[in-house]
Structure 1
Amino acid sequence: MRDPLLERTLRQVRAEKARDRRRRGGIVTAVSATLIAAVLVVGVHLGRHSAPGERVLVATAASGTRMTTTITPADGWVRLHAAVDGIDPGEKCELVVTDSAGRRYVAGGWVASRRGDTGLAGAAMVDPAEVATISVVTVDGRVLITVSA
């Protein structure tokens, strides 16, 4: 003889397990689709905004300072665009390019006014093939972040 209460309880447990599996599958699919879309958007953006020979360099320091730098070669010199985040407000900074011989060139400077991305455009009289690193350095000489070229 079958117990109707037991049968109904087992059906309900099976239905809840199936519903949980479907929900998890939907979440995994949504997250995967979002990640794929983000990768495609970034790739298209970089593809549209990259000049021949242009390089995009990204670094994150242990302090939380982040920098994304675009190096655009010119005839014997480089153009730079840096987006820097994580510098304390009031900090006086310089964007410094170091060549392969260790010579340093200041490409620009600013005073950090708030937390968040600071965009900076600059240039340095360095042969594009000789760029070794790009750094954010305080005026008192502390290196906040460096990215290798």
Structure 2
Amino acid sequence: MLRRAIERVRQERRRGHRRRRITGLAAAVVLAGGALAGGLLLGSPELTEPILSAVSGDGVHLTTRLKPASGWTRFDVEVAGVAWGEHCRLVVTDTAGVEHEAGSWAASEKATRFGGSVLVPMNEVRAVSVRGYGDRELVRAAPS
């Protein structure tokens, strides 16, 4: 009789261990699936990072990747085809037509790449342009 009681306790323990392992494994699978789905959603540039791109008639290339932030916009820019030594300014125009200078540089022989930010919400960005000497617009990119 004592043996049967001991054996019954052992069986119950084994069942409890199996249940906990199965439950833990199921929870891990659900968490991993959720993390994977969230990572795919957050990592998708089409959903979070619009890209503005333009080429002027003079061959100046502008590519800008916009990144939303709380009340402002971060960006990564690449500009190529500007004459060596020309002083350039990056200008962001908002939906009200207000222009915000977002950076400046002297053009080199290679493409210029830089990152920055502007105090304009991403949904209010109407255009990004590169200006040269005399405030001459070299290239302009706008969301479609």
Verify same fold: TM over 0.5. yes
Question: 2:83 aligned with 1:88, yes or no?
Answer: yes
Q: Identify the match of residue 68 of structure 2 among 59, 68, 73.
A: 73
Aligned to 1:123: 117
**Shift in Å, 1:48:** 5.7
Aligned to 2:137: 143
Q: State the distance in 2 between where 1:48 and 1:73 align.
A: 13
Q: State the distance in 2 between where 1:63 and 1:88 align.
A: 10
Q: State the distance in 2 between where 1:48 and 1:85 align.
A: 27
**Shift in Å, 1:57:** 1.2
Q: 1:84 to 1:49 in 2, by over 3 A?
A: farther
Q: 1:136 to 1:49 in 2, by over 3 A?
A: farther
Letter matched to residue 116 of structure 2: G
TM-score w.r.t. structure 2 length? 0.66
Identity of aligned residues (%): 36
Question: 2:57 aligned with 1:50, yes or no?
Answer: no
Contact (CA 8 Å) 1:51, 1:72: kept in 2 or not? Answer: no
CA root-mean-square deviation = 1.8
Q: 1:54 to 1:88 in 2, by over 3 A?
A: same
Q: 1:48 to 1:76 in 2, by over 3 A?
A: closer
Q: State the distance in 2 between where 1:113 and 1:53 align.
A: 31
The structure having more radius of gyration, on CA atoms, is 2
TM-score w.r.t. structure 1 length? 0.64
Q: Deviations over 1:5-59 (max 9, x none)?
A: xxxxxxxxxxxxxxxxxxxxxxxxxxxxxxxxxxxxxxxxxx9673852111111
